[in-house]
Chain A
Amino acid sequence: MGRRTAEPAARLSWPVAVLAVTALAFLVLPIVGLIARAPWGELPELLVRAPVLEALVLSFGTALGSTAICLVFGVPLATLLARAGGWRALPRRLLRAAVTVPLVLPPVVGGIALLLLLGRRGLVGAPLEAAFGVTVPFTTGAVVIAQVFVALPFLVFAVEGALRSANRRTELAAATLGASRWQVFRFVTLPLVAPGVAAGAVLCFTRALGEFGATITFAGSLPGVTRTLPIASYLAMQSDPDEAVALALLLLAVSLVVLLSLRDRWVPGVRA
């Protein structure tokens, strides 16, 4: 208010600065604790153990798979959400709430819900088994489903933000000039929102990689099939804390590399 100049480094008032630094410390200190506690000397040996590599491969494979699925279904859902701006309040809010639910639901509850839907006695799972003999829980597919459930909103909201900030007039101009709907989407909309889609996909991937509660509840925990890195880390805590810390470091390193690769494109339209 009243500040005319937009200096890049405007001074913060001191209470804000103190609280901000406290908040930052709260986020960073646990990570410092993890790093300080790490058995650095044995780390190489701990990380090449067969169960660790198995969990790493499984985690990467499933997280990539669920990110791909989120892209295929999430971008259209984000488009729907962006267009819902013109809807009436009630359906618009219901749609937004439905997409937000997995963000605020405890993942374990999400896992139970998935079990009650797709489990052997579930709403869809029971007919599925009766008709095709297919059971979903305790399979690698179940890991991917759990990850999609928790990670999809991250992609949808990132892409929706990009779509909203993209200038609709450019699309209209292209349409006026005779471009088909597909051409408008392919040559105008998509390039405009591509950074948002990329950022959403990266956040989606890291969330899928870290998924624990829904996975252990819905998919279980079997080495090589459903035991992902976070689950392996949790179980290692029971018997071999050093291995648990090593696994946690591995997850942390992967997440940091991925997030740093985002540079400043955390949220479309907001660049530091």
Chain B
Amino acid sequence: MRRAGASAAAMAAASILLAGCAAPSVGSPEPTTPTTTPATGSAATTLTVFAAASLATVFDELAERFEAEHPGVDVVVNSGGSGALAEQIVQGAPADVFAAAAEAPMQRVMEAGLVAAPVVFATNSLELVVPAGNPAGVTSLEDLEREELRIALCDESVPCGAAGVRLFADAAVKPVPDTLESDVTAVLTKVALGEVDAGVVYRTDVRTAGDAVERVVVPEAASVVSRYPIAPMTDAAEPAIAAEFVQLVTGDAGRTVLEHAGFGAP
């Protein structure tokens, strides 16, 4: 009886598997496909844009505009840490356009021969943010040296952290962080939740977070500028559409949206 039960269960599992797999890929599983699963419409062309975390809001807006201008094109924005995105692309993730928050990740993709001529389309700088009401009374970068404060920064291995290292060197400040996050949004979330007393994020993120955070003016920050490059992938499924999206971002329409979000001109 027990054996019969087990084989019945196996058959049930098999039928679920068969019913569940719309694509006939049972014979050759593909283990390396990473995170994105673009929601493909029936006959639509999908344009997959890999964008730095700090670009998420702007690119969502630009994607909507692009879709309105190009009926039948579905733009999927995959945002995350620039370095992680670059690694996913190098490992074969299906991107059509890549926009990074620094030149190093783009360089890595270029060395792999996957993009040809990246263009810098925006600049950004860092800013000190505190939770609404500034409970710890943070007024300058020097406050980041106070041991008793909870501080969130980006890890050095991601662009916002690398820019932070330059900023602290310029300002001769040695911060005492409590956490080094993997992307800028994670820092911002922890500030917005009030779990840390201060964090360093991009100027543009302060606007995204709305009333939950307040900015603290840091004169040194203006001198440390992050440059954002964008490029269509050389192996894009629809090179013409990818190039058009890059044109939208680098053109006047993109400029307006980017400026509105607080990004500087290249």
Q: How many residues on the A side are at the interface (Cβ–Cβ under 8 A)?
A: 41
Report chain B residues within 8 Å CB of A219.
179
The 8 A CB mask of B11-23 against A (1 = contact, 0 = none) is 1001001000000
CB-CB contacts below 8 Å: B79-113 with A: 81-84, 87
Residues of B within 8 A of A (CB): 1, 3-4, 7, 10-11, 14, 17, 26-27, 29, 31-32, 81-84, 87, 150, 152, 155-158, 177-182, 186, 190, 193-196
A22-B27, A120-B195 given as contacts; is B87 within 8 A of A241 (CB)?
yes
Check A221–B182 contact: CB distance below 8 A: yes
Q: How far is the CB of A271 from chain B (nearest CB, A)?
A: 13
Q: A221 contacts B150, CB within 8 Å?
A: no
- Decide if A182 is an interface residue (CB 8 Å cutoff): no
Chain A 1-18 near chain B by CB (<8 Å), digits 1 or 0: 111001000100001100
A138 in contact (CB, < 8 A): yes
User: What are 5 A-B pairs at a CB distance below 8 A?
Assistant: A10-B3, A216-B186, A221-B155, A231-B182, A239-B157
Interface contacts (Cβ under 8 Å), in number, total 98
Complex contacts, B157 vs chain A, CB 8 Å? 235-236, 238-240
In the complex, A210 Cα to B67 Cα: how many Å?
40
Taking the nearest CB of chain A, how far is it from the CB of B32, in angstroms? Answer: 6
| Interface check A30, CB cutoff 8 A | yes
Query: In the assembled complex, which residues on chain B have CB atoms less than 8 Å from the CB atom of A236?
Result: 157
With A19-B17, A119-B195, A220-B190 given, can you name 18 additional A-B contacts, CB distance below 8 Å?
A: A16-B14, A22-B27, A25-B29, A26-B29, A32-B31, A138-B178, A138-B179, A216-B181, A216-B182, A219-B179, A222-B177, A222-B178, A226-B179, A235-B155, A235-B157, A235-B182, A237-B84, A240-B157
CB distance B84 to A15 under 8 Å? no
Whole-angstrom distance between the alpha carbons of A20 and B182 in the complex?
38
Q: What residues on B are CB-neighbors of A29 within 8 Å?
A: 29, 31
Cβ of A121 under 8 Å from chain B: yes
**Within the assembled complex, what's the spacing in Å between the Cα atoms of A62 and B87?**
29
Contact between A221 and B158 (Cβ–Cβ < 8 Å)?
no
* Segment 46-72 of A: residues with Cβ below 8 Å from B: none
Instruction: For A216, give the chain B residue with the smallest CB separation.
Output: B182
Minimum Cβ distance to chain B for residue A178 (Å): 37
Docked pose: A121 CA to B7 CA in angstroms? 52
Closest to B158 in A: A238
Contacts of A222 in B (CB 8 A): 177-180
Question: A115: CB under 8 A from chain B?
Answer: yes
Q: With an 8 A cutoff between CB atoms, is A255 at the interface?
A: no
- B26 and A22 form a contact (CB under 8 A): yes
A84 to B193, CA, bound (A): 39
Q: How far is the CA of A216 from the CA of B183 in the complex (A)?
A: 11
A29–B14 Cα distance when bound, in Å, is 20
B149 → chain A, closest Cβ, in Å?
11
When C-beta atoms are compared, the residue in chain B nearest to A139 turns out to be B178
The complex places the Cα of A213 from the Cα of B20 at a distance, in Å, of 27
A119 partner, pick from B155, B156, B193, beta carbons under 8 A: B193
> A115 to B192, alpha carbons, bound, how many Å?
12
Within 8 Å by CB of B155, from A3, A22, A120, A238, lies: A238
Q: How far is the CA of A237 from the CA of B86 in the complex (A)?
A: 10
The CA of A121 and the CA of B190, in the complex, are separated in Å by 11
A250 to B10, CA, bound (A): 34
Chain A residues with CB under 8 Å of B31's CB are 26, 29-30, 32-33
Q: How far is the CA of A19 from the CA of B18 in the complex (A)?
A: 9
B155 lies within 8 A of A1 (CB) = no
CA distance A236 to B186 in the complex (A): 17
Provide the bound-state CA to CA distance between A223 and B152, in Å.
13
* A-B interface, 8 closest residue pairs, ranked by CB to CB distance from nearest: A220-B179, A238-B83, A239-B157, A30-B31, A26-B29, A29-B31, A1-B4, A138-B178
In the complex, are the beta carbons of A234 and B182 less than 8 A apart?
yes
Determine if A135 is an interface residue (Cβ-Cβ < 8 Å).
Answer: yes
Q: Are B194 and A120 in contact (CB under 8 A)?
A: yes
CB distance from A142 to the nearest CB of B (A): 10
Note all chain A residues with C-beta closer than 8 A to B82.
238
Distance in angstroms from A28 CB to nearest chain B CB is 9
Whether the pair B26, A16 counts as a contact (CB closer than 8 A) is: no
Q: Which residues of B contact A137 (CB under 8 A)?
A: 150, 195
A121 touches B87 (CB 8 A): no
Residues on A with C-beta less than 8 A from B194 are 119-121
Contact between B29 and A16, CB atoms less than 8 A apart: no
Pairwise interchain contact A221-B180, C-beta atoms closer than 8 A? yes
Closest Cβ neighbor of B27 among chain A residues: A22
- Most chain A beta carbons < 10 A, residue from B26, B190, B194, B195: B195
